[in-house]
Amino acid sequence: MQKTRLSNPNLRWANSRQVNIGTDIGLFNNSLSFVADYFIKNTERMLLTVTPPSTAGVSNDTWKNAGKARDRGIELGLNYSGSSGKAFQYSVGATLTKVTNKLLELDEGRNVLPNGVNVRSTLTPIRTEVGQPLYSYYVVRTNGIFQTQEEINNYKGKDGNLIQPNAKPGDLRFVDKNGDGIISNDDREFAGSAYPDFTYGITFNASYKGFDFNLFAQGVQGNKLFNALKYTNMNASVGTNFNMLHDILDAWSPENTGSNIPRISAQDANGNYGTTSDWYIENGSYLRIKNVTLGYTLPATLTKRAGLNTLRIYLTANNLYTITGYKGFDPEVGMDEFGIDKGRYPQARSFLFGLNVNF
């Protein structure tokens, strides 16, 4: 029996204040409609678990009203329905959402909200700091790959010592941001987050005689993902004998100097993989055709003869196609690990064939 959590008698509910300014416009007999909404949401007394100092001796964090954050965003929607009254009817819609998030304040003079997010206890890319979006990436910057030993020997600090003495040609060059002559956690800087610049969706509906067609596509732009799969599966020094991804065949070698993948090394003395750097960060933007459905409702005359009210057959494809530059399995990694992709199982493309029958 032990005390695992400090109580907080001053705990209160968080408070959110949101201001919305919007407009709904309908034109041309409401066949064209436009919706725009701008909002500012301030959350005060955010309920966060805060780790007390170890001397408190409890293993769980304390609930506190720990901070203030602001979300600001704009939502736009556009919809056009065409050819009403005609045999061929269609409507097109598009939505766009842009939200930015910023941590304004943490209580008790704190600047950083610590977190335990890590990849195999080695990479720790996430940092929540006042003035930045929550859960941003905080990493060492890289600047290409050393091509020759001469480049390594020329990469010196102010005191004339090599900044990366363990590097060999083919290793990553890290940026010594604070100029202290060594590469360490003090050289880290903020490098974006998994929050997108904007998300958008496109819908298209059409019907003609008995056919109906529906298409929904969804996209995300400007989010950054941390491709942690590289750490376990492109890293010869991970020490666990996992299978390597195919990409490793393109690693840097004297015959393949154009690659941006560092050389294969079982020791990784330079810390190509062991350093939490922006080499892991990739653009996670994508456009995905989520859903396409084509259906056909048999004419009423035919179905009534069979004793049915309506009969509709349809073919649906889910996740039909994705346009993305992301090298991992699936850019829809989700926010539960703040955009860190540890090889999340990708979504499947599926085809469904179906029948709707009304008796």
Partner 1 sequence: MKTIIRNTILAATSAAMLSACNKKLDIVPEGSPTTGNFWVTEKDAIAGANTMYDQFDDENFYGRGYWWFINASDDQITGRVKAEGDNIKDFNRNFIGGSYTESQWKLRYIVIKRANDVILHVPSIDMDASLKSRIMGEAYFLSGLMYFQLGYTYGGVPIVDRDNLLNDKPIPRADNVNIVYQYVEEELKQAAALLPYFDQLAPADYGRPHKTAAWAFLSKMFLYKKDYASAEKYADSVILSGKHQLLDNFSDVFTIANNWSKEYIWSALSTSKGPSGWGSILPGVMLENKGWGKYNGWGYFMPTKELYDAFEAGDLRREATILKPGDHFTFFGEDMTYSSLNSLSGYQYRKYMEPFSYPGAVHLSPNGDHPTTDLSVPLLRYAEVILIKAEAKLMQGKNADAEINMIRHRAGLANVTNANMDELKKQRRCELAGEWADRHSDLVRWGDAKDTYAKPLHGADGREVWPARTFNPAVHNVWPVPQSEIDNSGGVIKQNTGW
- Residue 159 makes contact with partner 1 by CB under 8 A: no
How far apart, in whole angstroms, are the C-alpha atoms of residue 24 and residue 34? 6
Residue numbers 235-264 binding partner 1 by CB under 8 A: 237-239
Nearer Cβ to partner 1 (48/220): 48
Task: Pick from 81, 184, 233, 318 the residue near partner 1 by CB under 8 A.
Answer: 184
Nearer Cβ to partner 1 (273/338): 273
CB of 102 to partner 1, least distance (A): 20
Q: Which stretch binds partner 1 (CB under 8 A): 84-92, 119-127, 141-149, 215-223?
A: 119-127
Nearer Cβ to partner 1 (6/294): 6
Nearer Cβ to partner 1 (1/355): 1
- Residue 112 makes contact with partner 1 by CB under 8 A: yes
How far apart, in whole angstroms, are the C-alpha atoms of residue 124 and residue 138? 8
Q: Which stretch binds partner 1 (CB under 8 A): 40-48, 97-105, 180-188, 325-333?
A: 180-188
- Residue 3 makes contact with partner 1 by CB under 8 A: yes
CB of 46 to partner 1, least distance (A): 17
Residue numbers 268-297 binding partner 1 by CB under 8 A: 268, 271, 273-275
CB of 321 to partner 1, least distance (A): 39
Q: x/- contact string, 41-80, with partner 1 (CB under 8 A)?
A: ---------xxxxxxxxxx--x------------------
Q: Which stretch binds partner 1 (CB under 8 A): 3-11, 69-77, 208-216, 246-254?
A: 3-11
Pairing of strands 112-113, 88-106: unpaired
Residue recorded with tokens 């393949």: 256
CB of 280 to partner 1, least distance (A): 14
- Which residues here bind partner 1, judged by CB under 8 A? 1-3, 6-7, 50-59, 62, 108-110, 112, 114, 116, 118, 121-122, 124, 183-185, 237-239, 266-268, 271, 273-275
